[in-house]
Chains A and B, each alone.
Chain A
Amino acid sequence: MNDIVKTDETLLNSLKEREKELNCLYKVDEILSNHQLSLPELFEAIVAIIPSGWRFPDLCRAKITFKNSSYQPPDFIASPISEKCSIKSDGKIAGSIEVIYIKKVPEAAEGFILEKERQLIQTIADRIGQIVFYRDMKLVLNEWETSRKQGEPSSNQEWKVILDFLRDTDQDMLLNICRKMINHLLINGVNEASGIMNSTERENDNFPSSVKPFGSVDDIREKTFAIAGKHLGGNEITTHVKRWIQEEQVYSLAKAVGSISPSIPNIVEELTSYHNSAKNDEALYSPRARWLSVALISRFLSDRPEFVNTAKQYINFRDFVDIANRIIFPTGSRGNLGGKSSGLFLATKILRKEGENNPLLNVVDTPKTWYITADAFTAFLQYNNLEELNEQKYRELSEIRIDYPNIIQLLKNSRIPPEIVKSFSVALDDLWDGPLIVRSSSLLEDQVGAVFSGKYKSLFLANQGTKQERLEALLDAIIEVYSSMFSPDSIQYRAERGLLDFNEEMGIMIQEVVGRKVGPYFFPLLSGVAFSNNEYCWSPRIKREDGLVRLVPGLGTRAVDRLSDDFPVLLSPQHPEIPVNSVPDEIKRYSPKRIDVINLEQRTFQTVDLAALYRDYGDEIDELHKIVSIIEFDHLIKPNKFEIDFEKSDLVVTFDGIIAKTKYIKQINAILQVLRDKMGHPVDIEFSCDGQHLYLLQCRPQSFMAASSPAPIPKDLPEKDILFSANRHISNGLIQNIAYVVYVDAEEYHRLADIDDLYNIGKVVGLLNTVLPKRQFILAGPGRWGSRGDIKLGVRVGYADICNTAALIEIARGKKGYMSDLSFGTHFFQDLVEANIRYLPLYPDEPGLIFNSRFLLGSPNILREIFPDYARYEDVIRVINVRDVADGRTLTISMNAELGEAIGYLSRHKADLSSADRPNEYNEHQTDSKAWRWRHYMAERVAASLDARRFGVNSVYLFGSTNDGTAGFGSDIDLIVHFEGSAQQKLELVRWLEGWSLCLDEMNFLKTGYRMNGLLDVHIITNDDINRKTCFAIKISLATDPAYRLKLKDEN
C-alpha cells in the first residue's frame, strides 16, 4: 500500500518537474520571437527565465556567453554543480549556456542535474543558435538590398556579394556553384579552368581514378572566379550564379524524393521549404527538375507509364508544392492519392498550361481540396486490427452481401488513427465552414476501362455546427466511403474486370462544395457532366465528337445519374444552338423539375421541388434569370432580372441565358476538346458553377457503358444472314438476342386508304409493344416514329407504344420523293436517351448497303396468330419470329461509331467483345443461364406447391424471358394464372403469391444484388378474358413464345 502511495508521489513530482520545464521553454520561445529585442537584451531576459525550469529555481543561476560577452545575474558564481552547453549557429560554436546551483542541492538518482534538465538546456541553446543565425542572415540580406539600392556594387559586381554571402552561410553550396562555373568554363573552351579542382590527371578508362582532396573552398572560389572574370562579363556571371543557386535549393528536395524509401513527411517538408525559398521559375527545365517531377508524379499520382508520359508534360515538381500541405497521410505513407485525385490534378494542370493561350481555359477553377493518401485506408485497418477484412473480397457474393451491413457498422465503430484525425482537424480549419464533399479516390478508380462510376461512394457534408460536430461528421463520412470498398457491388465490379487480386486502397478527396446559400439551402447555380463523345446525337448536324453536356440546376448528382422521373437539359457544347427540344411543350416536358441541395439547417442532402424553391427563394438567386425562361402559353421568354415574378411566372429551366450570355458552355467545350486532345482519350468531366466561376470537379476517361461500347463489325458473313447495313449517323452499341422483328412496310403502309387504318397501325405497334418480350424486339419502319406530320409518312405512335423495344429503326427510302434526310429528333427523344433505347437510321437505297427485303418480306408473319383481330394489317405490319425463321438464331445489331458502320445480322452466338471494352454495367439483354434456369426451377416450385382447389385456380402458365431462356439477373418471372374462383379466393391467392414473390426477390437479391420489389409478375386472367382474347389471355395460345403450362400440386 505504502509502495503505491510512494510511486504515486514520485509520479506527481516528476509531472510537476515536466510542467516547470515546459513553462520555461515556452517563456524562452516567447522572448526569442520578440524581434524588437536586441541580442544582448534577449540574452539578459533568457538568463532570468532559465532557473524557473530547474528543480530548485531559487538556488539556480544561468549564464550565457556569446561572442566574447557574457550575460549573467550578479550572484552567478563558479560552482561544482553546473551544466554547460554550446550555442551553435550555422554549425559553428558561437557561445555557450551554463546553469549552476549556488548551493548544494539534494541529489536525485540521476545526479544533481536531471536528464530532462540537460535536454532543456540543449533545446534552449539550439533555439538561440537558430535565432542568431536568422538575425545574421537578415542582416546580410539587408546589407545586400541596401547596397543594391545604392547601385553599389553595380550589377556586374553583384555576383561577388552573392558569393560572399554564400561563404558566410553555406559553403557546400558555394563549392557546388564553383564546380558548375568550372564546368561552364570548360564547356566554353576555357581550358585553364580544368586545374582548379585538382582533376588534371586524365582518367584511365579501365581504372578507377584516384581520389584527390579538394583545396579549401575559399581557394577554389578565388581561382574559379578569377578565371571567370577574365572570360565572362559581370552580368553573365551574376545570371549563372543566380540560376545555380536556384537549382541548388532543390537539392534537399531531390534528396528526399530520391531516397530508397522516401518518407512522405520528409518530401512534404522539403517541398514546403523549397517553396518558401524559391520564387521564380528559372530552375524548372533542368534535368534535375524533370527527374523530380517524374518522381513526384509516380509517387503521388500514378506510376502507370501512359499516365506519367502525359503528366510530365504538364506537371512539374513545383505544382506539388501547392498541394503538399493539403495531404493527409499516415506514418510511413507511400503517398499515392488515388485515381480520381490524379485525374483531376492532371486535368487542372493541363487546363492551366493550355490556358496560357486560351483565355476560356485560364478562368476554370477547382475547389479547394484536401487529399488523403490511399494507404491511410490500410493504416486505418491496421490500427483497428481489421486486416481480416482484406479476405472479404474472396468470399461468396451472397455472403458478402449479407455481411455488408455488419461491416459498415464494424467500420463505423472503429477509430481513425489519432495522427490522421489531427490532420483532419487542421483540414477543417483550412477549409471553409460551408458544405464539403468527401469523394472516393481509389487506386483503381477512373482508369481507362474501369471508371467505377457509382461503385464507391461520394458523400456530401453540410459541415455545420461546432468544430467537434463537424469533425465527427467528417470522420463518419470518410469511414462510410472506406466501407464502400467492401460493398458487394464494388467487389463484383472488380471481380468482373479481373482486378480482384490487385491490392485496392482508397484515397479520398475532401472538397469544398461549390455554391451559395439560398434560404436554408446551399447549392451551385448549375452543375453537370460533360462527355467528349455524344452517343445520342439528336440531329444529323451534330457529330458524335461534338460532345454532350447534361446540365441541371443545383448539385450535379441529378446530371450524373439517369433519372426515370426527371430530365437534365441536354446540350451539344459545340452546337448549343441546336437544342434537343424546340417546341415549348417539349421544352417544358423535358426540363428539370427537381433540384438536389444541401439543407444547412437540417444538415442533410435533399431533393426539392424546383417550382417551390424558386417561388420561396427565387429572389435570392442572383443569376436565376440566366437559367430559367418564362413560359406564357406557347411563348418562351428569356427574362432579364426584373421580369420574373416568383409568385406567378411559370418558370422552365432552359439555361438559355447561360448559353447566350455567359461563356460557360464555350468553356466546357474548350475543356472537352483540350482534355481529349492532351490526354489521348475521350473524357468525362463533372463541373459546377456558382454564377461567377466555372469549377472542374472531376475528370476521368469516358467509359463505355453497356450499350455504348464500339461493337466489333463481323466480316465475311454470308449475305443472306445480314438483314441490313448502315453507314450514316452511327452511334456505338451492341444489341443482341433480338428474337422478334416488327417491320412496318413503307409501301403497304402508304397504300392504306382509310385514316382509321393508319391510326390502327400505330395502335397495333403499341399492342405488340406490350406482348413481345421486353428489349428482345426491334421496330423498323418508314419515316419517323412518333411523327405528327402527315400520318402517311410516319407511323403515329407515342412513347408508350414503343417503350419496350430494343431499338428504333427508321428507314428512309430514296424513291418516290419520300425524304432525303431522316430527322432524328422525335418528340420523345429524351425518353429514349434515359431508357437507353437505341436509334438507327437506314438508307437502304444508297449504294453498297444491304437491305434484306427478302427476309423482311418473305419470312412468315405471325401477326395473325398474335392478334387475329388485326390480321387484316398483316401486309403492313410484319412480325417475324427470328428464331423460327433463322434456325434458332437471333438478330444481333453491331454499331461501331469509330468505323461509322452498323450491321444487323443473324447469329447463334453472342458477339465476342474483347475484355477491354466489355460492357461494364448490367444490361437487360445480358442473359445468364444460371439466372433463367433458377427462375424456371423456382416457377415450377411455386406452381407445384399451389393448391388449385383452395385458391380456385384452373392453371398457371409461365411466359416471358424465363420461359424463353433469356432471363437475366434483373428479370422477373412472368406468370399467367387462369383463375375461376371467388373474390375471397382471389384475395388469398394474391397474398400467397405475393409471399412467394418477396421471398424469391430476397433470394435473388442475395445471389445477384438486383432488388426488384417482388420477383413474380403475376397476371390473373378469367374465362371472360380468354373469350375476349385480352392481351395476356392470348399468350396462352400464342405463336410467339407461347406461355408454358406449369404443373400444379396434385397434377400428374
Chain B
Amino acid sequence: MSKTYNALEQAQAQFDQAAEKIELDEATRQLLRQPMREYHFSIPVHMDDGSVKIFRGYRVQHNDARGPAKGGIRFHPLETVDTIRALAMWMTWKCAVVDIPLGGGKGGIICDPHDMSDREQEQLCRGWVRQIARNVGPCIDVPAPDVMTNAKHMLWMLDEYETIHGGRYPGFITGKPVGMGGSLGRTEATGFGVIYVLREALKELNMRIENTTASIQGFGNVAQHAAKLYQSLGGKVTAISCWDNTEKTAYTFRKKDGLDYNALVSITDSFGRIDKEKAIGLGYEVLPGDAWIEQDVDVLIPAALENQISGDNVHKISKQVKIVAEGANGPTSTDADKVLAQRGIFVIPDFLANAGGVTCSYFEQVQSNTNHYWEKDEVIQKLDARMTAAFKAVVDLAKDKKLHMREAAYIIAINRVVRAVKSRGWV
C-alpha cells in the first residue's frame, strides 16, 4: 500500500470528482481544494495542581464566500489537523446544499476532557477564544459544539468573546441552551429534517407515505424524532434497532403491522433503552441487532453510527427497499454505495438528509443576531421549507442530469460555492 488514508485527501478526492464533472477551472479548484485560512496556536492552561500545560488549538475556515464560516469545535486527544480541514470542507458543502448563507469551518483542541476538571476546561475554552477572538465572530466565523464539547463550553466561549469585544454577541456561537440564546426545536431538527426530505423523495417515487413502511437503526435523538414524524405523517415504522446497555448488545424490535411510537417511548428509559420484556408483552418481536437491515420495508433509515451498511451486509437489504435515508453521518461504505446504486435504490445522502441540525443552528444564529426568538412552530415550519427546497434542487438536478443523489448533492453544493467565489471576483 503506497498511500495512507488521510481524511483531507479523501475529501479532496471527492471534490475533485465533482469538479471534474462540472469542468471546474484550475484556479477555483485550487481555491476550494484547501482551506482559505487556518489558525494554529498554543493555549497555556494553569492546571488545578499548579502546573501549566500547553494545549494545541486550531480553527480552520475552509470557505466563507457564501457567509460567515460555520462549524464545530471538537475536543479529542487523538485529533489531527487534516481531519479538521476535511471536516471544514465538508461543512462548506453541507451549508451550501441546504442553501443557508454560511460557509464552512471547523476547530478543535487536542485534549481529553475526561482528564480535566471543569475549571481547567473553562480555562481551555477561554484560552481558545483569546487566541482567535479577532478572527471569529457573528459575521466572520461561528463555532458550535462537536465531539466532546457541549452547551457548557459554548457559554464559556461566548462569555470570553463578549468580554474581549465589550458587548453582547449571542450570534458568535451556536448550541447554546434555550434562554441563553439557544433556539427551540433543536432537539427535533435533525430527525424531522430526515423525514421532510424522505417525504419529498417518496413524492418523487410516486409513493404515498401512508402506504410505506420503514426500518430504523437506532433509537437515539435523531431516530426517535424521525420515527415520530414519519408515523404522524402516516408511515409505518415496522422495525427499530436499539442498543441495550444492560446486555451490551443491540436488538431489533419488530412489529409488522407498524409500531406505536408513543407506546414504544413509554417503555424506553430516558437512556434510550427499550425494555425487552415489556416490548414482547406489547407484541413486538425481538430480533438480533443487525436484523433491521434485512426487513421487507420500503425505507431504511440508518440513524446510529457510521459504516453500518457495508459490503458485507448490503446484500441483505430486501428487494422491497426503495429508499435509504442517511440519518447518521457516513453510514454507507463506498462499496455498499455502489451496490445501492446498481440496485437502483434511492439514497438521500447524509449531508442532505441530516442537514436539519445545521439548518437549525443557522436559525439560532439568526435569532441571536436579531435578539428575537421564534416560537417552536415557526422554527419547525422554516426548517420544513428549507429542507424541502434543498431536496427539490438536488433531485431536480439528479433527474435532469441522470446523476445519483449523492453526486447531485455534491455538484449543487459545490456549484453554489463556486458561484459565490466567482461573483465576488475571487477567481
Contacts and interface: CB of A to CB of B under 8 A. Distances in A.
B242 interface: no
B73 to A, nearest CB: 13
B113 interface: yes
Given A583-B148, A583-B150, A538 B114 contact: yes
A759 B148 contact: no
Contacts of A593: 269, 271
Contact of A754 (B5, B117, B121, B145): B5
Q: Name the prevailing secondary structure of the A interface residues.
A: loop
A763 B310 contact: yes
Given A635-B151, A756-B333, A823 B77 contact: yes
A78 B310 CA distance: 121
Nearest to A564: B246
A796 B77 CA distance: 14
B152 A635 contact: yes
A3 interface: no
Interface string B354-383: 000000000000000000000000000000
Contacts of A968: none
B119 A577 contact: yes
A783 interface: yes
B346 to A, nearest CB: 22
Q: Which of A538, A540, A759 has the most CB of B within 10 A?
A: A759
Contact of B114 (A580, A611, A753, A756): A580
B147 A789 contact: yes
Nearest to A747: B4
A633 B186 contact: yes
Nearest to A577: B117
Assign chain A's interface to a size class.
Answer: 35 or more
A572 to B, nearest CB: 11
Given A583-B150, A755-B5, A757-B5, A790 B83 contact: yes
A181 to B, nearest CB: 61
Given A577-B119, A589-B245, A589-B271, A635 B150 contact: yes
B277 interface: no
A831 B245 CA distance: 9
A788 B148 CA distance: 9
B4 A751 contact: yes
A790 B10 contact: no
B334 A754 contact: yes
A307 interface: no
Contacts of B78: 783-784, 787, 789-790, 793-794, 819
Contacts of B245: 589
A658 to B, nearest CB: 15
Interface in B78-101: 78-80, 82-83
Nearest to B47: A541
Contacts of B115: 539-541, 578, 823, 825
A750 B4 contact: yes
A788 B269 contact: no
A1001 B77 CA distance: 47
Interface in B106-121: 112-119, 121
Contact of B270 (A611, A788, A792, A825): A611
Contact of A752 (B4, B186, B248): B4
B28 interface: no
Contacts of B187: 633
Interface in B244-281: 245-246, 248-250, 269-271
Assign chain B's interface to a size class.
Answer: 35 or more
A644 to B, nearest CB: 15
B218 to A, nearest CB: 13
A633 B150 CA distance: 9
Nearest to B84: A790
Contact of A803 (B49, B121, B248, B307): B248
Given A580-B114, A588-B271, A831-B248, A632 B150 contact: no
Interface string A727-765: 000000000000000000000001111111111100100
A784 B112 CA distance: 12
A539 B150 CA distance: 21
Interface in B97-155: 112-119, 121, 145, 147-148, 150-152
Interface in A541-594: 541, 564-565, 575, 577-584, 588-589, 593
Nearest to B111: A823
A565 B246 contact: yes
A824 B115 CA distance: 9
A800 interface: yes
A835 B80 CA distance: 32
B76 interface: yes
Contacts of B76: 787-790
Given A632-B177, A635-B152, A753 B4 contact: yes
Nearest to A584: B150
A633 B225 CA distance: 13
A774 to B, nearest CB: 13
Contact of B307 (A582, A753, A756, A799): A756
B248 A799 contact: yes
Nearest to B7: A790
Contacts of B305: 798
A729 to B, nearest CB: 12
B3 interface: yes
A770 to B, nearest CB: 11
Contact of A759 (B4, B48, B307): B307
B385 interface: no
A634 B174 CA distance: 12
Contact of B306 (A588, A754, A759, A789): A759
Contact of A788 (B4, B6, B147): B147
Contact of B175 (A541, A634, A759, A831): A634
A634 B248 contact: no
Contact of B1 (A752, A756, A796): A752
A611 B269 contact: yes
B278 to A, nearest CB: 12
A114 B416 CA distance: 123
Given A593-B271, A788-B76, A792-B80, A755 B10 contact: yes
Contacts of B186: 633
A650 interface: yes
Contacts of B248: 799-800, 803, 831
Interface in A498-532: none
Interface string A938-956: 0000000000000000000
The 6 A-B pairs with the shortest beta carbon distances in the complex, nearest first, are: A825-B114, A577-B117, A789-B78, A635-B151, A789-B76, A793-B78
14 contacts: A577-B48, A577-B118, A578-B114, A611-B269, A635-B151, A753-B2, A756-B310, A756-B334, A758-B5, A759-B310, A789-B76, A789-B147, A825-B112, A831-B248
Interface of B: 1-7, 10, 48-49, 74, 76-80, 82-83, 112-119, 121, 145, 147-148, 150-152, 175, 177-178, 182, 186-187, 245-246, 248-250, 269-271, 305-307, 310-312, 330, 333-335
Given A758-B5, A787-B78, A823-B77, 5 more contacts: A578-B114, A756-B307, A756-B311, A757-B5, A800-B248
